[in-house]
Structure 1
């Protein structure tokens, strides 16, 4: 599972394969478990989670200092997530529940709803999306043993029938194309027969990592893993090997292709990328300032400088010749101005759901965009068209 548990002076810490560190110093919930209190990177950036009594989440503070308010009901279920913008509370999403505890409605920042309908034992049988289209589910069995046997959208969209057998699952779509899945007592799929009769086979190692794939044409792809579950040798369908190496913190340090060409990476003490050497031998170097990427030096020694604001948003990029580009953001972190190396500025504006609704080019041409209830763009116009 590529997870590492540690106990130090601050308590328990869980580190995943991406290097994210989880602390569990929050209040206890009703079941007596400590809630996750922070999610951090090795170089010190954190998301902080705050709780009231009984483990009820009340606030999330992002790594850029954004305060996200979380409202909950008496059962501890989230009812609203909101944020302050220009002294106004913007409700990003709201949730409603029925007496059985089922979530029956979500309401987005534009007050558009999705609805959910259930049968007994919390089984979802219908979803009505923001555009009014319904999706449906039918089951066999009840409670935790229930299994979906039929799902479809209005008019037969995305329709599937599912049949369960001993060690097999058979799926038929709305066009009567059938795919069969075969699995063993370990619940791992070892064979798939597709709608054209092609057979793909799978084999796993003792750690249940996918080791061998044989495609319908008979070609084999094989992967060997290290003790932490990262691939160290990949043999492709032509029998050619790619080799990978990692450091003690599981950072990828080397990749060698079947042709013998090599990519290498080096990291600093905080596991940030310090340099990268390409297959043609060019080395690109990276330096950091106040925890943020500050310079990139290419293989010819040319230096690119990056400057960030107090919210860690890229504000300026200075090129080796001294020219620069600049960006400005609103207090939600959305780009509102972009200035190119010639001083031309483009302006951007958004709706409450973060959809781009206005773009003003440097020459004064204004583009306007409209969206449907699902966030799909339905109309675009400018001063010319």
Structure 2
């Protein structure tokens, strides 16, 4: 169940109200005909604590202004909340005053996977500029790499690439710094060696044609997965319903990407580069990122408390991660003359090493224990596919085969698994060494419709208009239903 998040507030007259981004099932709902009347209503809540202001921004799927708390004044936030109250993106209902205020949930409601652009506009407040319109695209995109079937070190059965993710820093407060190597991205160096990206390496780029017209916005995740958005005007949102993501063009200098998980990424335009400035992975969990004049990440803060510092060498390569509070070195990165990452040492002095063949394809991974993984490739560069992945002394040995949409691997015991994927990387069929077969069917939005199991039993999947799963029906008659707050 997706919970509804409610913020209880009491005005200066002692009246209690609940605010939410969804209709509130109880209480006396309050509606506004103009932003002026909404602002007058909000005046009764002044002054608001900065934490409450930030929570209200989060309800709207926005980040609060990046200003000191003392500068977060009603003149700055009241117009935003007033507009939201008028256009229906923020709801409020009055309640009898209670002794204790409690939020229903501390988790955000994920954005809908299926969106229709709103046609109703508040004409009284339309500017002289072209009226902003939302956009919704159902263009099929590739499945995220986290959904790929993998085997070995691991190797993707969808693309044949090596996709290796490792955690370098894990702090007691739950903070994790990870990095990912993808052989399909081996031609790109983002400052961590060719093919590698770190946990905060998200990008937002404008794609242009030969006449320099912007044709799309490209979002690239920390694992190098890509989402393409249609361009929209200021104040509008571009939805990619196939993957359940959106990009809100807040103003000329700020764009906010929201994924189906509910995680949000705020990008700010700095010298023609869209830099990731904030990451929100929960209502009360926000990361703030600080950069150098050369647009290199130098500090990560969690809820405005610095947790990690990044140090670079003269070539712009990330060489150290430090605890922002104690200045303890947590991780050291080592590079060769080709700018390949060849070593990573943790705070215990344990080092993992890497070797590469031509065009930065990983050839060897040596764990701190000395155990070594070896890779053999077919093809060159980022388009190469791994055909063998094995370890020392024959402890394990995976061999991979690719025939169009069909792929397979066999292990050191000659057990063979076979897979069939569609053009977007969805798994259609999987067969075990004993001949047992699983099958999956998908709808036009890439959502799972039906699963067929080796015993010929089936499960049907149904969704609501927002793309949320509402039921699983097994052929035995067993059924699981899912309910969501309106």
Same fold (TM over 0.5): yes
The corresponding residue for 2:262 is 19
Matched, 1:3 2:241: no
The corresponding residue for 1:93 is 331
Residues 154 and 27 (structure 1), Cα distance of their counterparts in 2 relative to 1, 3 Å cut: farther
Residues 343-373 of structure 1: CA distance to partner in whole angstroms, max 9, x if unpaired?
xxxxxxxxxxxxxxxxxxxxxxxxxxxxxxx
Residues 137 and 229 (structure 1), Cα distance of their counterparts in 2 relative to 1, 3 Å cut: farther
Contact 1:27 1:34 in 2 (8 A): yes
Q: Using structure 1 for the length normalisation, give the TM-score.
A: 0.59
Separation in 2, partners of 1:75, 1:194: 49
Matched, 1:199 2:441: no
The corresponding residue for 2:383 is 145
Report how many aligned residue pairs link the two structures. 243
Residues 29-87 of structure 1: CA distance to partner in whole angstroms, max 9, x if unpaired?
xxx531110113564542110001232000011127233111123454322111145xx
Separation in 1, partners of 2:314, 2:474: 55
The corresponding residue for 1:158 is 396
Separation in 2, partners of 1:244, 1:118: 48
The corresponding residue for 1:126 is 364
Contact 2:299 2:306 in 1 (8 A): no
Residues 77 and 247 (structure 1), Cα distance of their counterparts in 2 relative to 1, 3 Å cut: farther
Contact 1:27 1:54 in 2 (8 A): no
Looking at secondary structure, tell me which structure has more helix per residue. 2
Which consecutive residues of structure 1, in runs of 5 or more, have no partner in the other structure? 249-385
Matched, 1:175 2:413: yes
Q: Which has the higher contact order (CA 8 A, sep 6+)?
A: 2
Q: Moved runs in structure 1, 4+ residues, more than 3 A? A: 41-45, 73-77, 184-187, 226-229
Contact 2:461 2:471 in 1 (8 A): yes
Residues 212 and 39 (structure 1), Cα distance of their counterparts in 2 relative to 1, 3 Å cut: same
Matched, 1:108 2:351: no
Separation in 1, partners of 2:259, 2:336: 36
CA apart distance, 1:244: 1.6
1:230-309 alignment to 2 at 5 Å? 230-247=468-485
CA apart distance, 1:112: 1.3
Residues 188 and 18 (structure 1), Cα distance of their counterparts in 2 relative to 1, 3 Å cut: closer
Which consecutive residues of structure 2, in runs of 5 or more, have no partner in the other structure? 1-242
CA apart distance, 1:17: 3.0
Contact 1:225 1:231 in 2 (8 A): yes
Contact 2:288 2:304 in 1 (8 A): no
CA RMSD of aligned residues (A): 2.2
Q: Which of 41, 44, 51 is the aligned partner of 2:291?
A: 51
Contact 1:27 1:53 in 2 (8 A): no
SS at match of 1:144: helix
CA apart distance, 1:21: 2.4
